[in-house]
Amino acid sequence: MEQSTAASPWLLLLCLAVAATGGALQARAQPDVNGFISIDCGLAGKTTSYVDDTTKLLYTSDTDFIGNVGSTHNISAQYMVRPTHLSRRYHSVRSFPDGVRNCYTLRSLVPGGKYLLRASFMYGDYDGLGSLPIFDLHCGANMHVGVNYWQTVNISKPDLEATAEAVVFVPDEFVHVCLLNTGAGTPFISDLELRPLKKKFYPQANLTKGLVLEHRLNLAPPDTNIVRYPVDPHDRVWLPKSDAKMWSSISTTETVQSDGDVFEVPSMVMQTAVTPLNAAMNLEIIWSPNPQPQNQSLGYLIIMHFSELQLLPSNAERQFYISINDMQLPEPVSPHYLGTGFVSNGNARYRDNKYNISMYATANSTLPPVISAVEFFSVISATNIATDSQDVSAIMAIKANYEVQKNWMGDPCVPKTMVWERLTCSYTSDNSPRIISINLSSSGLNGDISSSFTNFKAVQYLDLSNNNLTGSIPGALSQLTSLTILDLSGNHLNGSISPELLKRTQDGSLNLRHGNNPDICTDGNSCQPTKTKNKLAIYGVVLIAVIVVLVLVAVALFFFLRQRNPESMNNSVKSHKEMKNDGHRTEKDGYGNSPLGLETRQFTYIELERITNNFRRVLGKGGFGNVYEGSLEDGTQVAVKIRSKSSNQGDKEFLTEVQILTLIHHKNLVSMIGYCKDGEHMALVYEFMSEGTLEEHISGKGNNAVCLPWRQRLRIAVESAQGLEYLHKGCNPPLVHRDVKATNILLNAKLEAKIADFGLSKAFHHNDDTHVSTNRIVGTPGYVDPDYQTTWRATSKSDVYSFGIVLLVLVTGKPPILRTPHTISIIEWVQQRLAQGNIEGVVDVRIHGDHDINSMWKAAVIALKCTTEALAERPTMTDVVAQLQECLNLEEELADGGSDSGIYNGTNSDDINWTDDAYSTNKSTNSSQRAALEKEHNFGRVPTMDTGPAVR
């Protein structure tokens, strides 16, 4: 019989990753018609498969998902025959005696989908050692999800069947499941399953959080059967649970409808329920979570499912309250007849070590409480920083290109104890780890030097010596400014060393080792053999002849068309005024006008080199490329953003961005002065913002270490909000920014705020209910709207959410994601303190007494409203601007010597008495102020509960 995670002291880490593990997967590795992947780990034979007796699902060998890594075994015969009901999926295992980390890769998934991942384990003394192993499970790396420890596997009995399950959000088309050897036994696995879920299921699972199942219980079923596929079409496993000493059971044979229920619990599960033994008693459920080491859990999620199974007479009523650890939920539950509903703690996660769930009848109820099913989850953070995505893509491409046989799996640099063999990484607290050293000496590499090596922008040491590399040395390697040692000795390379590489070797910035490559030349073209020169000369003559013929043909065609239709040729050049109207001209005319027909200056690449002093000073770096300081002919300072070769923005996207930037003008949006589209070179020229980013001022990094006073922070918030409001309301069509964050708010010499990087905004309709569907998530972890992460649909309310995070950063001086001591979002951190009335515990400690406590409290509440998960409850940016202006007015009154006349007249948290829905102050406030306050501060110590339609 399968055991739930609760029956075992360990769980599975299931993780998402960005990169392929190399090699093409076979067709058998694809999901089936249901989107299911069902793997029998260790099943003999690559093409072997069978139909499971219970689920009737096809299970296949794991070879296409793991390759030839590890070894396969059958469990001991004594455990295979006892008990007789043991599923065939447990007969074999795959173990991993070699390597620290071994990962399965499940592919062909739907990016942005939500999936249930389940792995099962049964030791069964497969190795004949009788030694019960302990090992860890970690996740691979993904630029969206991160790298996270999930749990330690501690096998307690050889005949114990255990299952570990998680609900995860998948931003890419694949998932990695990784097992780690910690030196206390060999990791192994019996089976691995993936099941797609509807996006509405388990909304708490998103880009930054995953859910690890502790229990999923079907209460008081008529027999001991486990409910799963096909009864549950999503193959969730509902384990039976009865307790005759605590509960009575009721049931029905009628179908229970789950229409409108976001969890779609199967009717068979909802057809049974438990009630108290005595109608006058409370219905009790006691749960103790599995301990989470190292503070890994963010808390616990409890979901309770209800249905009324009895047709009640008109004079009967079933209504009851729920309390969890003596905290009563605000709304009573009234189950619907043969309908389903649920209650959960939503995003207000519990963090206790034990839970006593008590259900008791209201004063008007004539019947006792009832419950059909319950689910318990541990909430796991997925916000740790993974290796730089460009480095990951490059190293994976190299692994595939050269078929590297090393055990390169999961994230290359994270965790630090499992850095890939032959790699060295650098780590900073705020940025992704970078690969700084690659040693592939004597690794059997064949072929040319891959262009992927030029993508390691932080690499300092690259050793490719003593391999079988051929071809020339790429001159682009000279562009790796951090590279100090390049060892290519002992290969079969040929041709001349590029002037750029020679220059770096001569100025001492690069130590280039190329010995034992007899065909390499260091003196230019003169070192080429005569035969080669002759061949090149012949090729050159032929090429010139071909070009001359093509030119003559083109000229003849031109005059032929002109004679046939001279009028159309005369009208082919539009006037400047016409170009401004359509904005689609593609050539620069003789008067120096923009090729887009827009009133903006077009620069050549040579001009950019001149105005930036050959790109001397870097102001910053982004996904588009580096930003350099420059100066125009009249002395005007500018910022020049050069598109890097690694940018995924194409010509069409770039020109679209230029059009958007040219047409948008607002005092709180960074202005574009011009652009460059010169061959492959693309750049944007902006007004210069001398005081850098808001993030620099808040964090005190760089030259901006002076703490901003609260009044200045408020002014920045108002100005930034006005810029976003213009994008949402002042543009036609309206635009959604999609990447609002503190680093995209720039300050000029007067500390006036302007929004930057809105060129890649997307248009949406005037109605806020509409959205922009995207093919990839744009944004920064910590700032991205959870709804956008889940649905891939960006709305104006997505910007509102991100701005709310910016506002919390302004109030607290802290980053969006805190890691003290465990990972927590700034939203939860602020909510916890405000729920205790502790506004001073929220305020940036560097801000001293130069602020009005009322304006600060109001700003914090505005931010929390912006970040509420329900889109309809978020304000518009117009509302935000108005409310922040009120906060600023309070500060201006304080600066003018006005009275401290706000809602809350004290700074001591003891002055506030909290209730479930609002609070009142011990100090005097007028009735209108208090009414507004109670409406505005609608949160308290008791978490708000999500309830399904049947219990509301």
- pLDDT higher for 62 or 162? 62
Beta-carbon contacts of 923 under 8 Å, excluding residues fewer than 6 positions away, are 905, 906, 911
CA 171/CA 649 separation, integer angstroms: 20
557 shares a domain with 584: no
Please say if the pLDDT value at position 128 is more than 80: yes
**Cα dist from 198 to 173, 205, 232, 471, 791, whole Å:** 16, 12, 13, 51, 11
Please say if the pLDDT value at position 935 is more than 70. no
Of the candidates 657, 652, 617, the one whose C-alpha atom is nearest the C-alpha of residue 637 is 617
DSSP class of residue 670?
Answer: P
Instruction: Clarify whether residues 555 and 539 are in a common domain.
Output: yes
- Asked if pLDDT for residue 799 goes beyond 60, the answer is yes
In a domain, 947, yes or no: no
Query: Using one digit for the tens of pLDDT, what is the confidence trace for 149-201?
Result: 667 778 889 988 888 898 988 877 777 888 888 888 999 999 999 999 998 89
Whether residue 210 lies inside any domain: the answer is: no
SS3 of 557-591: the string is HHHHHHHHCHHHHHCCCCCHHHHHHHCCCCCCCCC
Beta-bridge partners for 151:
137
User: Looking at the domain assignment, is residue 624 inside a domain?
Assistant: yes
pLDDT at 558 (0 to 100): 63
Measured distance CA(767)–CA(559) in Å, rounded: 53
Question: Minimum mean pLDDT among 246-250, 795-799, 852-856: which range?
Answer: 852-856
CATH of the domain at 281: 2.60.120
CA distances from 840 to 215, 711, 902, 909 (A): 39, 16, 16, 8
Q: Lowest-pLDDT range, 261-265, 694-698, 773-777, 890-894?
A: 773-777
Integer Cα distance of 355 and 848 in angstroms = 41
> How far from chain centre, in Å, is Cα 236?
25
Rounded Cα–Cα distance for residues 52 and 191 (Å):
12
Give the pLDDT score at 918: 25
CA distance 618 to 630: 10
Q: Name the domain boundary from 652, 687, 722.
A: 687
| Radius of gyration for the alpha carbons in the chain, expressed in angstroms and rounded | 32
Band of residue 598 on the pLDDT scale cut at 50, 70, 90: very low
pLDDT tens-digit map of 837-851: 777 788 888 886 667
Judge whether 918 lies within some domain: no
> How much is the average pLDDT of 32-54?
89
**Residue 928, φ and ψ in degrees, nearest 5:** -70, -40
- Cα 702-707-710 angle, rounded to 5 deg: 140
Q: How confident is the model at residue 144 (pLDDT cuts 50, 70, 90)?
A: very low
Residues 717-741, mean pLDDT to the nearest whole number: 91
Percent of the chain with pLDDT over 90: 41
- The CA distance from 860 to 826, in Å, is 11
Q: What is the DSSP string of 242-282?
A: --TTTEEEEE-SSPPB-TT-TT---HHHHTEEEEESSTTSP
Average pLDDT of the residues of the chain: 78
- 3-state SS class at 375: strand
Confidence of residue 764 (pLDDT cuts 50, 70, 90): low
Tell me what pLDDT residue 456 has: 94
139 and 249 both lie in a single domain: no
Does any domain span residue 926? Answer: no
Rounded Cα distance between 494 and 527, Å, is 11
Q: Are residues 247 and 112 in the same domain?
A: no
Task: Point out the least confidently predicted range of 225-239, 242-256, 482-496, 530-544.
Answer: 530-544
pLDDT in tens, 566-591: 433 333 223 233 333 333 333 333 32
Angle at 937 between CA 931 and CA 939, to 5 degrees: 130
β partners of residue 329: none
Give the three-class secondary structure for 115: strand
Higher-scoring residue by pLDDT: 528, 662: 662
Share above pLDDT 70 across residues of the chain, in percent, rounded to a whole number: 76
On whether both 722 and 864 belong to a single domain, the answer is yes
Q: What share of the chain is helix, strand, coil (3-state, %, to 5)?
A: 25, 25, 50
Give the pLDDT confidence score for residue 872 in this predicted structure. 86
pLDDT at 104: 86
Least confident span in 276-280, 523-527, 662-666, 689-693: 523-527
Q: Are residues 673 and 700 in the same domain?
A: no
Indicate the residue among 672, 687, 702 that finishes a domain: 687
Strands (E), 49-174: 49-51, 58-61, 71-74, 92-95, 101-106, 113-121, 134-138, 149-154, 162-170
Per-residue pLDDT, averaged over 264-280, amounts to 93
Q: Where are the beta strands (DSSP E) in 803-873?
A: 817-819, 823-825
Q: What's the gap between Cα 722 and its chain centre?
A: 28
**CB of 395 closer than 8 Å to CB of 306:** no
Q: What is the 3-state secondary structure (H, E, C) of 685-700?
A: EEECCCCCEHHHHHHC
128 lies in the same domain as 24: yes
Q: Residues 55, 108: one domain?
A: yes
Q: Which member of 739, 785, 844, 852 is catalytic?
A: 739
Number of H helices, E strands in the chain: 18, 51
- Residue 601 counted as domain residue: yes
Q: Who has greater pLDDT, 530 or 542?
A: 542
Q: What is the pLDDT at residue 525?
A: 47
Tokens of 415: 């965790």
More confident call, 795 vs 17: 795
739 is catalytic: yes
Residues 586 and 551 in one domain: no
Residue 901 has pLDDT above 60, yes or no: no
**576 phi/psi in degrees, rounded to 5:** -65, -35
Does a structural domain hold residue 152? yes
Question: 10 Å Cβ neighbour count for 167?
Answer: 23
Q: What is the DSSP string of 869-929?
A: S-GGGSPPHHHHHHHHHHHHHHHHHHHTT----SS---S-GGGEEE-SS-EEESS---HHH
CB atoms within 10 A of CB 610: 15
pLDDT for residue 41 is more than 90: yes
Q: 455: closest CA among 523, 508, 505, 398?
A: 398
Give the CATH number, domain containing residue 101. 2.60.120.260
Q: How many domains does the chain have?
A: 6
pLDDT of residue 296 exceeding 50: yes
Question: Are 46 and 171 in a shared domain?
Answer: yes
Rounded to the nearest 5°, which phi and psi values hold at 321?
-95, 160
Burial of 937 (0-12, 13-18, 19+ CB in 10 A): buried
How does strand 341-344 pair with strand 297-306?
A: antiparallel
pLDDT value, residue 50: 93
Q: What is the 3-state secondary structure (H, E, C) of 163-193?
A: EEEEEEEECCCCEEEEEEEEEECCCEECEEE
Is residue 496 in a domain? yes
pLDDT tens per residue, range 352-398: 888 999 999 999 999 999 999 999 998 887 666 678 878 888 898 89
Residues 613-651: pLDDT tens digits?
999 998 887 767 889 999 998 888 999 999 887 666 667
User: What is the spatial distance between Cα 104 and Cα 70, in angstroms, rounded to a whole number?
Assistant: 11
Q: What is the CATH number of the domain that holds 604?
A: 3.30.200.20
pLDDT category of residue 42 using cuts at 50, 70 and 90: very high
Instruction: Report pLDDT for 649.
Output: 67
Range of the domain at 59: 5-197
CATH code at position 481: 3.80.10.10
Q: How far apart are CA 432 and CA 204, in angstroms?
A: 25
By the 8 A CB rule, do 138 and 11 touch? no
Q: Within this chain, do residues 431 and 452 fall inside the same structural domain, yes or no?
A: yes
| Torsion on CA atoms 36, 299, 184, 43, rounded to nearest 10 | -10
With a cut of 50, say whether residue 913 has pLDDT above it: no
Measure the CA–CA gap between 672 and 284, rounded to whole angstroms. 64
Residue 194 and residue 175 in contact, taking contact as beta carbons nearer than 8 Å: yes
Can you give the pLDDT at residue 555? Answer: 66
pLDDT at 771 over 50: yes
pLDDT digit string, tens, across residues 204-253: 888 778 888 999 999 988 766 899 999 999 999 999 998 888 899 999 99
Average pLDDT over residues 424-450: 89
Full-model pTM:
0.57
Residue showing tokens 């206390």: 184
State whether 394 and 456 are in the same domain.
yes
What's the Cα-to-Cα distance from 271 to each of 250, 261, 267, 311, 951, rounded to whole Å? 8, 15, 6, 13, 17
